[in-house]
Amino acid sequence: MNSLISRYRAWLLVPCLALTSLSLAGCWDRTEVNDLALVTAAGIDRAGENAVELTVQVFVPRAGGGSQLGQPGSAAGDERSVVRSAKGKTIAEAMAKLQERFPRRIFWGHAEVFIIGEKVARTGIREYVDFFLRFSQPREHADIFVCKGEAKKVLELIPPLERHQAEVLRELSESKVSLHVTLKDLAEMLVGDAGDAALPYLTTLPPPVGKGQQHTIAYIAGTAVFRDDRMIGTLNQQKTRGLMWLRDEIKFSVVTLSPEEADGFISFYLLRSRTKWLPRIEGDRWSMTVEITTEDDVVENTTSLDLLDPEVTRALEAELEREIVRRIELTLKQVQQEMKVDIVGFAEIFHRRYPREWRKVQDRWDEKFPEVEVRVEVDAKIFPHAPGSERAARLLPVALSAHARPDRSRRGDVPLDGRRSRPLSHLV
Amino acid sequence: MPYNGKITPVQMAFLLHPTIVATALLLVPAMTERHAGRDMWLSPLWALMAGFATLLTAWALHKRFPDDTPIEYSERLVGKTAGKIIGVLFIFFYWHGSGSLLREYGEFVSGTFLMETPTEVIMGGMLIIAAYAVRGGIEVLGRCAQIMVPVVVVLFMTLILLVSRNLDPYKLLPMLEFGILPSLKGSIVPQSWFSEIIAAAFLLPSLTDRSKGLRWGVITLLFVAVILSLTNLTVLMLFGELAGRLVYPVMSAARYIEIADFLEHLEAIVMAIWVFGTFIKIVVFYFLLVQCTARVIGLSDWRPIVLPVGLLILISGIWTAPNLQQLVHALGTSIVFELLLIQLGIPLLLLAVALIRGKKGAPATAK
């Protein structure tokens, strides 16, 4: 018997191996892509007292470029995503109800945009942040926005350029022209020393004339300011820039000056900038010096000034510095004196440098923060250059792409007749 | 020749490294953060002391009894009955240990990837492969580790490199805000993990070159400390104080990676790291459990008990805790004492007896 087994040992192994391959497939958690509804963005709104409305935007997969199903004359025939919503006492409940309205299983792994309606934001967002961190499918790097009006309305927009609204917002926040806050950042702000938070604030761009209300996008038009987890107000885009200077997040900026010495304007394009914070405590006086060093390029000069003259450059630098300081102080005035919320992150900076003093005021930071004396010092360097120089050549594509955006979207409005161009290409 | 086979000192290092690190990356960072806060990266360095204490004890005992494992020399040191009791303690310890680490693995996989697969199935699958490897003997284990561990380390370093652009060193400040105490408190849990280096005591007798055993043991410990500290630094610089609120911070860090819109959703790498690492760890614990059992009972061949012991490990894995929360709680409280008591306390006791009984006095009492 034993010898028999050892003789056919190899053959006995074959069915065993075949059986193990069954377990490799992971049958229990087998999920086919075509059984999933991929959520690309989600929105949270208030629905009456003590209820939330959860809206999801689901990607509609489609065999690329094939012939469209015949839906004559329907503008919505081009829909690439489905937007549906459900109400519930909690998000989890709304989620369960939402599932009832989808033939496929809702999958959150690709949800990279969360939009919070302003009404919800004003009543507090902590529980939602907590939920999305706990729930294992959404990513910690999902972008978070607050929108004017209802989040549902924003998700229902049909952007002319991108595939869906989630992509629009993702691209916008990647471009760093405004705040970029991920789920992780928001959670960190809420558990941080100050506990205040700032989120990008969305507004809907008015649709072009002759197009439906939905044929537009929402864009970041400022900052929603939170005390603890409640939204208390907004900053406009200009003040948001000031905030970004303060937070060392500025990546893209154009500053235009009208120099005292001559008529016309000079525009500066930000090359790089670095912000340093120097906290100081003397007795009961807390002060903060914000040191900004920035390098800027002149991109447009409609004055008669000769930028190659070092005297002129120095004078312009001084003016640029004053202008940046003015912008930042405008922001500080609103944030520190009027709203009294520490969204700049001064609490952490003081905590790092003066841990002992910090502990004494940490419970009444709300009162202390407006008393902090802030000095802004800017050291600007500008690079004037003759047209055609290397730097100008490097900048050109940037400037072009910045202008190209509105252009392209306008072109998208003119219907391109695909059918007529096809026979033409045949001839060629 | 205790296990019918020999491994090189380097292979031993490759076996011991994941024995400590594999599960330490899973739950320990968050557990450390809760005590140490911003100083959590210091904790593994303090905990390294416990590792050295254990390793040096094991080495001192090994010098006295070069051919024996702790099971044999404890009998020779404290007498047959007491020695058997120590042996049984080791058996129960490795039984519970392998069970709860199998459970940690199962909870991790079912909690983050295979939500609907029963944990028992995940644990069982792992156990079957582990049993196969254990039956192969120590040489097979050594080679497995030699092939897998470098891959794991490279993957792990890649992960840290990819996440590095999102790191903010300022989150480490202020350092030592409340003095040295929080980081010491935070080091208690990692200490218990470091004491797992006692597995070296069982492996040292079967080294091809015994003189290099200590050197590679020390290298292993240093490398482990560096990896754990680096992990804590990364997690801290990425999440700040949020780190303690996440169950698997390293996993969350991997999910955070997003480069150029296409290098994202990299948690599969974390998965690979853990499956490889935990496999080695389970295999080492499993092997030692089988060896301890066979030696205490006095079997002439240990291979027949591999599968039955495996079944017992599975049962222990199911029994060890009713859910993940309680498992984490146990790992942070009672299991710490269990690990330190068995892995550091007993060897120290044995060494003390050996010192009192005379320099190499044991062989005389052996008969």
Confidence (pTM): 0.76
Put simply, whether A139 touches B (Cβ < 8 Å) is yes
In CATH terms, the fold of domain B9-359 is: Amino acid/polyamine transporter I (1.20.1740)
The pLDDT score that the predictor gives to residue B164 is 86
* Distance from C-alpha of A307 to C-alpha of A312, rounded to nearest angstrom: 6
Residues A297-322 have pLDDT tens digits of 887 877 777 777 778 788 888 888 88
Binning chain A into helix, strand and coil, the percentages to the nearest 5 are 40, 25, 30
Torsion angle (degrees, nearest 10) of CA B263, B266, B272, B273? 100
Residues A258-305 have pLDDT tens digits of 877 777 888 888 888 888 888 888 888 888 888 888 888 887 877 777
The pLDDT score that the predictor gives to residue B219 is 93
Residue A76 has pLDDT above 50, yes or no: no
DSSP, collapsed to helix, strand or coil, labels residue B3 as coil
Q: What is the rounded radius of gyration, in angstroms, for the C-alpha atoms of chain A?
A: 28
B265: chain A residues, CB-CB within 8 Å:
109, 139
Please state the domain extents for chain B: 9-359
| Smallest Cα distance from B6 to chain A, Å | 27
User: Which residues are CB-contacts of A240 (< 8 A; sequence separation ≥ 6)?
Assistant: A178, A179, A222, A223, A331
The pLDDT score that the predictor gives to residue B281 is 92
Identify the residue among B39, B255, B324 best suited for mutation to test binding to A, counting A beta carbons within 10 A and taking the highest: B255
| Smallest Cα distance from A136 to chain B, Å | 7
| Smallest Cα distance from B172 to chain A, Å | 9
Ordered mean pLDDT values, 10 residues apiece, chain B (367 residues): 75 91 82 83 89 92 87 86 90 91 87 81 90 90 90 87 84 78 85 89 88 91 91 87 79 79 74 85 92 89 90 90 82 84 88 78 44
A29, A109, A355: residue with CB nearest B114 = A29
Residues A161-178 have pLDDT tens digits of 777 788 888 888 877 778
Among A268, A315, A323, smallest CA distance to A292 is for A323
A188: chain B residues, CB-CB within 8 Å:
239-242
> Is the Cβ pair A355, B174 closer than 8 Å?
yes
Chain A residue with CA closest to B253: the answer is A140
- Percentage of residues in chain A having pLDDT higher than 90: 0
Among B251, B280, B256, smallest CA distance to B150 is for B280
**If phi over 0 gives left and psi between -120 and 50 gives alpha, with beta otherwise, what is residue B82?**
alpha
User: Which residues are CB-contacts of A388 (< 8 A; sequence separation ≥ 6)?
Assistant: none
User: What per-residue string of b and e applies to A358-393 under the rule 16 or more CB within 10 Å gives b?
Assistant: beebeeebbebbeebebebebebebbbbeeeeeebe
CATH placement of domain A253-408 = 3.30.300.210
| Smallest Cα distance from A188 to chain B, Å | 6
ipTM for the complex shown:
0.70
Please state the domain extents for chain A: 35-60+81-236, 253-408
B112, B125, B256: residue with CB nearest A184 = B256
Identify the residue among A13, A28, A181 best suited for mutation to test binding to B, counting B beta carbons within 10 A and taking the highest: A28
Put simply, whether A385 touches B (Cβ < 8 Å) is no
* Distance from C-alpha of B35 to C-alpha of A418, rounded to nearest angstrom: 65
Tokens of A398: 């940037």
| Smallest Cα distance from A313 to chain B, Å | 35
* Distance from C-alpha of B285 to C-alpha of B264, rounded to nearest angstrom: 34
Q: At what angle do helices B306-319 and B119-136 cross, to 10 degrees?
A: 150
* Distance from C-alpha of A92 to C-alpha of A90, rounded to nearest angstrom: 5
